Structure 1
Amino acid sequence: MNSTLTEEQLKSVVQGPGDVEWRYEMRRECQEILPGLLLGPFVASKSLETLQSLKITHIVCIRDAKEAFSVRPRFIDNFSYLTLDVEDNEEQNLIRLFPQAKLFIDNAISNGGRVLVHCNGGISLSPAFVVMFVMQHYQLSWEDALHMVQNRRYCISPNGGFLTQLKEYEAIYRASIAVASYPSTNRIVSRRKRDDEDDEDGIDRYDDRKRALVESSDSPPAPSYDADHMDIS
């Protein structure tokens, strides 16, 4: 699911609402990043009343495995959950886990749902996933995507390792778009060309082998020696 906007619309999306006065206590709340996608801390997922008032239908629970006893789905009868066990450190590979989260979010929003993405504090881990999502959704640079999320949840601060992966993911998703937009007829022609070249190579190799066999059969026979009549004096 991608959204195509004009340059002016994208600029407005990145800047976000200019009339929001950020308050410290808002760190404990969740904010809507794009229609149907909200980001916040674990504490925002603990109130059934709050979740229902926000019309949440799906929740992505991202947690360090060591936090599993406390950061966990609370209302499995009320919401659809995706739980991802990760480590909040600079070595954690988020890019490998992101496709699963993206598919979950895409399916929820395309079916009219509303998704809350949270980790423990909503500062580093879950924001990195949301930045990757909006980056690809709006086809933004990693910096614009980061600014977009920060302009709605001011307190986010992905760690250095996650920022590096955001840069890497920009190259990955842009490459996937380039491949998808490459005319399928060209891909077919290129594949056929490779197949033809392989066939020609195979014929050439067969001819070479055949020629070698013919030439060897036309060659004079190798001299034979009779050990009993050899002069060994």
Structure 2
Amino acid sequence: MKSTWRDRDKDFTKFLVGGETTKRHLVEALFTTKTRQYTPLPGFDVDMDEKEYYQLQQIINCDEVYPNILIGDGETAKNKPYLIDRLGVTHLLNCAEGKKFGFCRTDREFYKDTPLKYLGLPVLDVPHSDISQYFFPAANFIDDAITSGGKAYVHCLMGVSRSATCVLAYLMIKKNMLAVDALKTVREHRDIHPNEGFLEQLATLDNQLRRSRL
């Protein structure tokens, strides 16, 4: 028997054990989870004294926050040799594609001379931006990297809000993590700070996913 719209509406009224996830829960998790003070630059053997390592330390800003998923800033995203040759990145997700202030000017054209798969999202880092419309496309793109044996580099301008939010959505959608657990996982490896509007949208996603899995 096929479900009706009325049946599906009931799914959103199902009781959630432990109550609804709220923005407050995520803010609390954010500020009570400490980021590791020192992590080696991704792509290097810390036991080897490499000149390139010390040079790149000055300009590279990225961290592996989950196996084969890196979050970083827009400047690091421009370093194609580092991403491809040193890290082995196969998929690049730009969560701040655009030409205006606060965006990253790199786009599909910028990477046309590389084998990288590219996805650009034009998200402004302000609380009222609807980043939730990109949760599933972003999760699917990252998942394509992981399931194909590749590696994803996810970035925005600074690598703390838009990119982090998309990686959190991936962990929730594809890895069945609760929002609080996903946030703690990423926060332990990188000092992320999704804005309050994005945290609100992640809380909503969490409640929707939890109900869908009842």
- What range describes the TM-score normalised by the shorter chain of this pair? 0.5 to 0.7
CA distance in 2, matches of 1:51, 1:159: 27
Please name the residue that 1:197 is paired with: none
Report the 3-state secondary structure (helix = DSSP H, G, I; strand = E; otherwise coil) of the residue aligned with 2:71. strand
Question: Which 4+ residue blocks in structure 1 deviate beyond 6 angstroms?
Answer: none
Please name the residue that 1:146 is paired with: 183
Q: Which structure is richer in relative contact order (CA contacts within 8 A, separation 6 or more)?
A: 2
Give 1:35's aligned amino acid: P
**Aligned partner of 1:63 among 80, 86, 96:** 96
Q: CA deviation at 1:131?
A: 1.2
Q: How do 1:118-197 and structure 2 match up within 5 A?
A: 118-154=155-191, 156-178=192-214
Q: For the structure 1 residues 98 and 62, does the alpha-carbon distance in structure 2 shift closer, same or farther, using more than 3 Å as the test?
A: same
Please name the residue that 1:72 is paired with: 107
Q: How many residues align?
A: 161
Identity percentage of aligned residues: 31
CA distance in 1, matches of 2:39, 2:150: 27
Quick check: which one's helix share is greater? 1
In the alignment, structure 1 residue 35 sits paired with structure 2 residue 67: yes
Q: How do 1:184-223 and structure 2 match up within 5 A?
A: none
Q: For the structure 1 residues 112 and 146, does the alpha-carbon distance in structure 2 shift closer, same or farther, using more than 3 Å as the test?
A: same
Report the 3-state secondary structure (helix = DSSP H, G, I; strand = E; otherwise coil) of the residue aligned with 1:85. coil
CA distance in 1, matches of 2:144, 2:160: 25
Give 2:138's aligned amino acid: A
In the alignment, structure 1 residue 89 sits paired with structure 2 residue 117: no
**Native 8 Å contact 1:64 1:87 kept in 2:** no
**Native 8 Å contact 1:27 1:41 kept in 2:** no
Please name the residue that 1:191 is paired with: none
**Native 8 Å contact 2:96 2:156 kept in 1:** yes
Report the 3-state secondary structure (helix = DSSP H, G, I; strand = E; otherwise coil) of the residue aligned with 1:152. coil
Q: For the structure 1 residues 48 and 64, does the alpha-carbon distance in structure 2 shift closer, same or farther, using more than 3 Å as the test?
A: closer
Note the alpha carbon deviations across 1:12-63, whole angstroms, 9 max, x for none: xxxx9x976269x799421112222111111111112210210001100111
Q: For the structure 1 residues 26 and 174, does the alpha-carbon distance in structure 2 shift closer, same or farther, using more than 3 Å as the test?
A: farther
**Native 8 Å contact 2:97 2:104 kept in 1:** no
Q: For the structure 1 residues 84 and 145, does the alpha-carbon distance in structure 2 shift closer, same or farther, using more than 3 Å as the test?
A: same
Report the 3-state secondary structure (helix = DSSP H, G, I; strand = E; otherwise coil) of the residue aligned with 2:154. strand
Report the 3-state secondary structure (helix = DSSP H, G, I; strand = E; otherwise coil) of the residue aligned with 2:204. helix
Report the 3-state secondary structure (helix = DSSP H, G, I; strand = E; otherwise coil) of the residue aligned with 1:171. helix
Report the 3-state secondary structure (helix = DSSP H, G, I; strand = E; otherwise coil) of the residue aligned with 2:132. coil
Note the alpha carbon deviations across 1:129-184, whole angstroms, 9 max, x for none: 11111223332221221111110112x11111011111111112222333xxxxxx
CA distance in 1, matches of 2:173, 2:69: 14
Bigger Rg, which one: 1
